[in-house]
Amino acid sequence: MKGIATKRHRKHKNSLGFLVLLVPFCGYFASAQAAQQPKPVMVEDVFKNVQVLKGIPVDEFMDTMGFFAAALSLNCTECHTPESENSWAKYADDTPLKQTSRRMMQMVTAINKQNFGGARAVTCFTCHHGTQRPKTVPSLVVQYSAPFEDPNEAEVTGQDPAGPILDKYIQAIGGAARLANITRLAMKGTYSGYDTYHQKVAMEIYAQAPNRVATIVHEVGPTRADSVKVYDGGAGWIVSENKPVPVMPLTGGNLAGARLDTILLFPAQIKQAFTQWRTGTATIDDHDVQVVQGTNAGQPPVKLYFDPNSGLLVRVARYSDTAIGRVPTQIDYSDYRDIGGVKIPFRWTVTWTDNQTFIQLTEVRANVPIEASRFARPAR
């Protein structure tokens, strides 16, 4: 994955940047507030020459582009034109790869419809596996070598109760009583990723229990403008120069991810986040971990990885549905420090199909006043 990302993002103008910093859980928690959500901006309202992927929100469309990039190990300008790097309009220009992609989407849709009842059992990645041309000859190296085990694919068929693992986690970070006493967090630190050309820039995160989060990443991109993401407890938005619309509403998995993020920041109610729990084991960097998978009906699962000794959360893996398949996102947590009697991870590494970002917190203040305007719809 590291090699693929490095090649693909050398000139990836449209990486989603800090969108998944606190966002990309996918469809978790069907919300009673759905009827209150603003009408999403649809892809055909923004982009020209969209022929196959019509009828989806812009943020899902951008996630879908990330799926293509991961499946073929290409960046935006390699599928589109070099001129598109500095012009959204140029993304409408046809290229041979775009034309082939349309035919492939139609082929895959037909395969799934005829053989799997319309379920996305086959995707671009099924055949390509990160290469432009599917391999047709069996690999003896693969056949006779020890298989690589991706901890994000860990089996979680165990019926052991997840409660003790989650209880140990709550106790490890300070206990339920201390967690309940923290209702606001104001955080500062640095952020770096493909969208900052790997340069560290200043960032701030403001959170208020039970369900409001605002993130500001300063001086992102060529114009050095701020990127802002807000979730106000019901709706969410992102403002960034590398987005195709001035204010991009969050929908589907991106919106549900922002909702779940507040539970990770204020995790006292984590047990109530899912209706079904399963357990398993995996290995991350040669260390055994306990895996707890939470699922809600009709939604993709989320996997939580805990250190069996400390009880601390070390990784979250979740999956977001797009128009052509499901994409993964993982967040690795480390450098836990005590803030007001509660341990908070100061180091976050966020990896997904459109970017890899590194967040290092330098200051976390609990229960300080936060202006309500921080959680209002951002302006461009």
Q: Is residue 21 predicted with pLDDT exceeding 60?
A: no
Closest CA to 202 of 220, 214, 184: 220
Which pLDDT does position 38 carry in this prediction? Answer: 62
Q: Are 350 and 356 in contact (CB under 8 A)?
A: yes
Query: Which residues, 6 or more positions from 107, have their beta carbon under 8 angstroms from its beta carbon?
Result: none
pLDDT > 90 in the chain, percent: 58
Written as six digits, the tokens of 236 are 């969410």
Q: Model confidence at 319, in pLDDT bands (50, 70, 90)? A: confident
Q: Is residue 18 predicted with pLDDT exceeding 70?
A: no
Which pLDDT does position 310 carry in this prediction? Answer: 98
Interval 48-61: pLDDT, tens: 999 999 999 999 99
Rounded Cα gap, residues 136 and 117, in angstroms: 26
> To the nearest whole number, what is the mean pLDDT of the chain?
86
Least confident piece of the model among 6-10, 215-219, 375-379: 6-10
Which pLDDT does position 128 carry in this prediction? Answer: 93
This prediction's pTM: 0.86
- SS3 string of the chain? CHHHHHHHCCCCCCCCHHHHHCCCCCCCCCCCCHHHCCCCCEHHHCCCCCCCCCCCEHHHHHHHHHHHHHHHCCCHHHHCCHHHHHCHHHHHCCCHHHHHHHHHHHHHHHHHHHHCCCCCCCCHHHHHCCCCCCCCCCCHHHHHCCCCCCHHHCCCCECCCCHHHHHHHHHHCCCHHHHHHCCEEEEEEEEEEHHHCCCCEEEEEEEECCCEEEEEEEEECCCCEEEEEEECCCCEEEECCCCCCCCEECCHHHHHHHHHHHHHHCHHHHHHHCCEEEEEEEEECCEEEEEEEEECCCCCCEEEEECCCCCCEEEEEEEEECCCCEEEEEEEEEEEEEECCEEEEEEEEEEECCEEEEEEEEEEEECCCCCHHHHCCCCC
Closest CA to 41 of 248, 257, 323, 321: 248
Q: Are 47 and 92 in contact (CB under 8 A)?
A: yes
Which pLDDT does position 37 carry in this prediction? Answer: 56
Cis peptide before 210 (omega within 30 of 0): yes
pLDDT > 70 in the chain, percent: 90
Q: Model confidence at 31, in pLDDT bands (50, 70, 90)? A: very low
Rounded Cα gap, residues 86 and 31, in angstroms: 38
Angstrom distances, CA of residue 254 to CA of 16, 86, 112, 267, 352? 11, 26, 25, 19, 13
Interval 87-118: pLDDT, tens: 888 899 999 999 999 999 999 999 999 999 99
Angstrom distances, CA of residue 133 to CA of 89, 129, 231? 28, 9, 40
Angstrom distances, CA of residue 102 to CA of 45, 53, 68, 351? 19, 9, 11, 27
Written as six digits, the tokens of 353 are 């199909």
Rounded Cα gap, residues 315 and 333, in angstroms: 6
Interval 198-241: pLDDT, tens: 899 999 999 999 899 999 999 887 778 899 999 999 999 999 88
Domains of the chain (ranges; CATH) run 1-380 (2.50.20.10)
Q: Are 80 and 93 in contact (CB under 8 A)?
A: yes
Backbone angles phi, psi at 327, to 5 degrees: -110, 145
Q: Is residue 305 predicted with pLDDT exceeding 50?
A: yes
